Amino acid sequence: MATATAPTPRAALPGVLRHPVARKLLLLAAAAAVLVPLADAHWSSGTWPKALTVDLTGPLTRTGDWIIDHRDSHPLFLHFLGHISNAVVFCVRAVYLLLLAAGWAGVTAAATALAWRAAGKRLALGTAAAFLACGALGMWVPTMQTLALMAVAVLASVAVGVVLGLAAGLSARLDRVLRPVLDTMQVLPAFAYLLPVVLVFGIGVPAAVLATVVYAAPPMARLTALGLRGADKEVLEAVDSLGATARQRLLTARIPLARRELLLGLNQTIMMALSMAVIASVIGAGGLGDRVYQALASVDVGAALAAGIPIVLLAVVLDRVTAAAGDTTGRTTGTGRGHRAYTAYAVGAAVAVAVAGRLAGRPDWPGSWTVAVAAPVNDAVGWMTGHLYSGVPVIGGTADWAGRFTTWVLDPLRDGLQGLPWWAVLLLVAAVAWPIGTWRTALTAVLALAATGVLGVWEPSLDTLSQVLAAVAVTLVLGFATGVAAARGDRFERLLRPVLDVFQTMPQFVYLIPVVALFGVGRAPAVAAAVVYALPAVVRITAQGLRQVDPAALESARSLGATPAQQLRQVQLPLARPALLLAVNQGVVLVLAVVVIGGLVGGGALGYDAVFGLAQGDLATGLVAGAAIVCLGLMLDRVTQPTERRTKKGA
Amino acid sequence: MRLRTTAVAGTLLLLTGCGAADMTRQASPFAHARGARTVTLSVQSWVGAQANVAVAQYLLEHELGYRVDTVQIDEVPAWDALSQGRVDAILEDWGHPDQEKRYVDDKKTIARGGALGVTGHIGWYVPTYLVKQHPDITDWKNLNAYASLFRTAESGGKGQLMDGSPSYVTNDKALVDNLKLDYQVVFAGSEAAQITQIRQFAKEKKPFLTYWYAPQWLFEKVPMTEVKLPAHKEGCDADPAKVACAYPRTPLQKYLNADFSKQGGEAAAFLKKFAWTTEDQNEVSLMIADQKLTPQEAAKKWADGHASTWKAWLP
């Protein structure tokens, strides 16, 4: 589009119209002036018109029943889906048995050796410590179950991702088709993926693995395509001139050149697989996620944390090791024999430890070596809720805050949105989306929101939307403030970094109970959990964006005598605008993901419908809610679409 | 890389065979590891169900030498998982006639496992300290007069009737409509959230009205009194939209996977005989949920004191 004639502002236009935003809004107003009376006359204003909804309850219920009745007889299940399901079970089982056979000593040694070869000594030590901590918390077997499930899911995701990525990287047409799909899949809340797989595969490990693959494969595909497309043209020409065949060119030039992107893709796939493997405990994935879920059922935050810590440790270790592997590959290739010898030592040592562990007769983690963390944690949580919940002098307790937040922010916002005529809400979305993005993103956003109306969940969708908006507002205020502070003070940032790491990798479930204890049941705790979850990403992107501002620009501002506040307001913030927009976009996406899970703590609306669908096996309600969540996610993403999307999700 | 993928895919194909694959007969991949005899039990989210499973697990592991896996699944999906053999048993079911007809009578993939010995009852409850102030609050006819007491930020201008997990059996929305009550049903979304909220209310002696059920350990911590709803008659809850009567009393049932029931050996025989009283269950539940013992410690403590009860369950 860059070559199209740029619309040159004509002298005849009044000054305001030269501004592109004003022009877009004016056009929109003109369109509205024509369409709104039409719509009003046809369907009346107020809430979403009945005439425009499609009731899917009947067909969806029949589909669900048909699947249950034919699962053991229809060829589609017997000869296709059944094999997939069996293959998943077989693979997970094989990996699980292998891990158990290696014993705790063997697994720890192997992981340490792997981390050493891939990422150096310090991370190797960290890896060993993390695995031993999993054992010490009494979580060895669940950790292995999660690892087995993840290993299979990650392998499958990588396979699927690489195939899709190759296709998109080599064919421009496929790229055009796949890119919007993959972009969209990356912003959807994990929760929305659970229902369709449950419908087909039933509760259990196969469904969990497949949901994980669907969730974790897109980043691999996107980054593979990106790497292949970004390969240096000159190198490729050189390869061509040597007379290489297309296949040789791919294998010897394009793929090796895309190595960094491939490893980054692997890193993201692993992180997303881990987060999904935890959420998938709702559909019977077992492992660590299930322990968190079970502990929360008895309001046992301590026990939930004991299972949550291994997840965080695994996440941090996997993230750091794969990231370091991506950074070092460029340098260490070709160190030759010494490199290989070390690898051989590492493998040998790991095998020796595993055998020794077996001979010592201790493949299982010894029960007496576990540390109980649950009791002290529960005491701490109990004290906090006991003293902060209400009756704190002057500022009031957390419950009072929650009540006020609900009455003064959430209620007016929800009632306002639901009280607006339906076309006004759509117009509002268009008016926000168009100036930020293109007419295409604006149209997608409007259609996505309209789709929730068509699905017959207009009111709950707006309820969820109001919670998202409130949470995003809070997140942005806190996140920008913290981000600015982190960008200005190095020490503060160093202190903040591990905290952000932990908060970002913690499974969302673990947040839910403390927020109930502090804020009661309802929408306020859902919003609070969402804020806590989305905050780290916003802080991090803001701080990064501010730090990357051209030092020359800052220097010149300083030399002109600008105060620090002026520098921030007039130089840093405007220059970091793309990063800030990205922060908004990420904040919105992450907030939606948790507000939906907030259905578990009384958030109501779409999240509750999705939970209800899963819990009651009522797929009509659940799938419609899931689809509406997808639409909302699409709408929110498009409205805040930044000019260039970062490749990383959440981190 | 490609070679390896092809090899893996090929091996898989060989291993799964090329014939029909019935995924409705498929055990959990974590079952029977290393030749151990395993049983997979479904745990529902409430603590009573955890207590059943904890004791069954303890005895299966320590008396019969099994390895027990537990998976938390909601009630209705648990039926589906049970029929597919992904779990072997549900130890506490609160009555799901539709599922029972589909899986037990029609498809015969699930077998009845006998009664648990505990009778369950769902109802509306108010804290006993509130009843002392307003003795007539325990009749539904007087609830409207007290609606303002139960108002919260979530219920708008009406009184709040707190419901729990979406997975539980409930007619509350219909009841509120049909009895013309000035109340709003607010779903806590999970039992954990509901319990946390009840305890917060109770600590401050605030009034609340909640959907709750017995047997439940929370009664020992927060004494509650049931609100009388119009009496339950056989069939009065047949049409979900027109329900205007109390919930029934349900003898809780056990269900086993049909194959497991036949071929499950000692474990199946044990689980069929497993039956205890409300008091027993509450004792274990309290240890788990209130004293924060791990389910295994709680089960051990109970088993040490009640040998005569569980000796009878062993095959």
Tell me, yes or no, whether B242 lies in a domain: yes
Cβ-Cβ contacts under 8 Å between A and B: the total is 218
The rounded distance, in Å, linking the Cα atoms of B91 and B272 is 9
What confidence tier does A332 reach under pLDDT thresholds 50, 70, 90?
A: very low
Q: Which of residues 155-214 of B touch A (CB under 8 A)?
A: 156, 162, 165-167, 186-197, 200, 203-204
CB of A96 closer than 8 Å to CB of B36: no
Contact between chains at B196 and A521 (C-beta distance less than 8 A): yes
Q: Which residue of A has its CA nearest to B109?
A: A72
Cα dist. A353→A96, A109, A215, A267 in Å? 19, 7, 36, 28
Asked whether the beta carbons of residue B26 and residue A85 sit closer than 8 angstroms, the reply is: yes
Residue B281 CB neighbours (<10 A): 25
Number of domains in chain B: 2
What tens digit of pLDDT does each residue of A282-324 get?
887 778 888 877 776 666 777 777 888 888 888 888 888 887 8
Report the greatest alpha carbon distance in chain A: 90
Contact between B153 and A616 using a beta-carbon 8 Å cutoff: no
Average pLDDT over all residues of chain A: 79
**Cβ partners under 8 Å of residue A247, min gap 6:** none
CATH of the domain at B142: 3.40.190.100
Task: Answer yes or no: do B222 and B141 share one domain.
Answer: yes
Do B292 and B304 belong together in one domain?
yes
* Cβ-based contacts of A616 with chain B (< 8 Å): 74, 76, 166-167
Q: CATH: 1.10.10.60, 3.30.750.24, 1.10.3720.10, 3.40.605.10. Which one for A143-300? A: 1.10.3720.10
User: Within an 8 Å CB–CB cutoff, is residue A598 touching chain B?
Assistant: yes
CA distance A290 to chain B (A): 7
Tell me which of B200, B219, B250 is where a domain ends.
B250
B4 inside domain: no
Does residue B14 fall inside a structural domain? no
Q: Rounded CA gap, A537 and A218, in Å?
A: 20
pLDDT (0 to 100) of residue A6? 43
User: Which residues in chain A touch residue B15, judged by CB atoms under 8 angstroms apart?
Assistant: 90
Tell me, yes or no, whether B152 and B78 share the same domain. Answer: no
In a domain, B20, yes or no: no
Using an 8 Å CB-CB cutoff, list chain A residues near B154.
Answer: 406, 521-523, 602
Residues of B within 8 A of A298 (CB-CB) are: 47, 50, 192, 288-289
To probe the interface with B, which of A247, A298, A407 has the most B CB atoms within 10 Å? Answer: A298
Sign of the torsion angle spanned by Cα atoms B217, B220, B224, B225: positive
Evaluate whether the domain defined by A389-639 bears CATH number 1.10.3720.10: yes
ipTM of the complex: 0.73
Q: Which of A72, A148, A603 sits opposite B22 (nearest CB)?
A: A72
Which residue, B250, B273, B291, sits at the end of a domain? Answer: B250
- Are B292 and A302 within 8 A, CB to CB? yes
Last residue within a domain, chosen from B250, B280, B298: B250
Task: Select from B16, B82, B50 the least CA-distant residue to B261.
Answer: B82
Provide the angle, in degrees to the nearest 10, between the axes of the packed helices A619-639 and A191-201. Answer: 150
Per-window interface: A 193-212 vs B, CB < 8 A: 198, 201-206
- The whole-number pLDDT of residue B211 equals 92
Q: Do A521 and B5 touch (CB under 8 A)?
A: no
Q: SS3 for A621?
A: helix
DSSP state of A456: T
- In the block, tokens 């939307």 appear at A465
> What pLDDT digit, counting tens, does each position of A201-246 carry?
877 888 889 888 988 888 889 888 888 887 777 777 787 787 777 7
Q: Please, is A550 exposed, middle or buried when counting C-beta atoms within 10 Å of its C-beta (0-12, 13-18, 19+)?
A: exposed
B220 in the same domain as B134: yes
pLDDT in tens, A379-389: 777 777 677 76
The verdict on residue B172 lying in a domain is yes
Q: For residue range A445-492, what is the model confidence (pLDDT) as tens digits? A: 889 888 888 888 888 899 899 999 999 999 999 998 888 888 877 888
Looking up residue B268, the CATH number of its domain turns out to be: 3.40.190.10
For residue A642, the surrounding DSSP H or E stretch is none
| pLDDT on residue A437 | 76
Q: Is B119 on the interface with A (CB under 8 A)?
A: no
Same domain, yes or no: B177 and B217: yes
Do residues B274 and B245 both lie within one domain? Answer: no
Residue B302 within a domain: yes
Measured between alpha carbons, how far is A182 from B63 in angstroms, rounded to an integer? 53
pLDDT of residue A619: 75
Pick the residue from chain A with its C-alpha nearest to B193. Answer: A601
Out of B5, B23, B166, whose CB is closest to A86?
B23
Q: Do B77 and A297 touch (CB under 8 A)?
A: no
CB pair distance less than 8 Å for A294 and B22: no
Distance from CA of B193 to the nearest CA of A (A): 6
Claim to verify: residue B167 and residue B214 sit in the same structural domain: yes
Dihedral (Cα; A549, A553, A557, A558), 10-degree rounding: 80
State how far the Cα of A113 lies from the Cα of A124, in Å rounded to an integer: 7
CB proximity list for B134: less than 8 A, separation 6 or greater: B146
pLDDT tens for chain B, 315 residues long, are 444 555 555 554 444 445 666 665 666 677 666 666 788 888 887 788 889 999 999 999 888 888 888 887 888 888 888 888 888 999 988 888 888 888 898 888 899 988 888 888 889 999 999 999 888 888 888 888 888 888 887 777 788 898 877 778 788 888 888 889 888 888 877 777 788 788 888 888 889 999 998 888 788 788 999 999 888 888 887 777 888 888 888 889 999 999 888 888 888 999 999 998 888 898 898 888 778 787 888 999 999 988 888 888 888
Which residues 12-31 of B have a C-beta within 8 angstroms of A?
12, 15-16, 20-30
| Host domain of residue B70 | 32-118+252-311
Query: Which residues does chain B have within 8 Å of residue A603's beta carbon, measured at their own beta carbons?
Result: 189
Do the beta carbons of residue B95 and residue B169 sit within 8 Å?
Answer: yes
Among the residues of A489-507, which ranges form H helices?
490-505
Same domain, yes or no: B241 and B274: no
Where are the alpha helices (H) located in A230-336, listed in sequence order? 233-241, 246-249, 255-257, 259-279, 287-297, 301-332
Residues B292 and B143 in one domain: no
> Does B1 fall in a domain?
no
Measure the CA–CA gap between A301 and A600, rounded to whole angstroms: 15
- A 504-523 residues inside an 8 A Cβ radius of B: 512-513, 516-517, 520-523
State the residue for tokens 């970004």. Answer: A230
User: What is chain B written as a DSSP string?
Assistant: -HHHHHHHHHHHHHHH-SS---TTS---TTTTGGG--EEEEEE-SSHHHHHHHHHHHHHHHHTS--EEEEEE--HHHHHHHHHTTSSSEEEEE---HHHIIIIIIIS--EEEEEEEEEEEEEEEEEEHHHHHH-GGGGBGGGGGGGGGGG--SSSTTSEEEEE--TTS---HHHHHHHTT-SEEEEE-SSHHHHHHHHHHHHHTT---EEEEEES-THHHHS-EEEEBPSPP-TTTTSSGGG--SPPPEEEEEEEEEHHHHHH-HHHHHHHHH----HHHHHHHHHHHHTS---HHHHHHHHHHH-HHHHHTT--
Residues of chain A in contact with residue B196, where contact means CB-CB under 8 angstroms, are 299, 513, 516-517, 521
- Set of chain B residues whose Cβ sits within 8 Å of the Cβ of A87: 12, 16
Is the same domain home to B243 and B124?
yes
Domain boundaries defined on chain A: 143-300, 389-639
Q: Is A428 helix (H, G, I), strand (E, B) or coil?
A: helix
Q: Could you tell me if residue B43 is inside a domain?
A: yes
Q: How far off is chain A from B312, nearest CA to CA, in Å? A: 29
Q: Are residues B124 and B231 in the same domain?
A: yes
Residue of A nearest to B14 (CA): A87
Question: What span, in angstroms and rounded, lies between the C-alpha atoms of A381 and A398?
Answer: 14
